[in-house]
Amino acid sequence: MRKVEVSTDGGRTYKEAELQQPVLRYAHTRFRYPWQWTGEEAVLQSRCTDERGEVQPTIHEAAKNLGVTPRYFYDADHFNGIQPWKVTRDGSVQNAIL
């Protein structure tokens, strides 16, 4: 993995996160990104870029690349795309991909 970026605005903008060692090719890597929640609704998501420069896709980008609808991935056993999470004003967290 080359880098991880975090978005706090639903993917409109991304900023680089700090990778936590060890960074291994075929293993999960922890990362850190300082963010102060203001109490407003926010959609958080992260994406990684691998050593070849390939950027992790959203479900919509992956569907377009494969020529399928996003529904295809809801029924699939595996999807390793970007997973957005909505933080609501009451502080609860919900899956924002649906």
C-alpha dist (Å) from residue 87 to 31, 45, 73: 19, 11, 23
CB contact set of 35 (below 8 Å; sequence gap of 6+): 6, 8, 44
Express each pLDDT in 31-47 by its tens digit: 999 999 999 999 999 99
Kindly tell me the burial class for residue 34, based on how many C-beta atoms sit within 10 Å of its own C-beta (0-12, 13-18, 19 or more).
exposed
Domains and CATH numbers, the chain: 3-95 (2.60.40.650)
Express each pLDDT in 54-95 by its tens digit: 999 998 899 899 899 888 887 777 778 899 999 999 999 999
Residue 94's DSSP bridge partners are 86
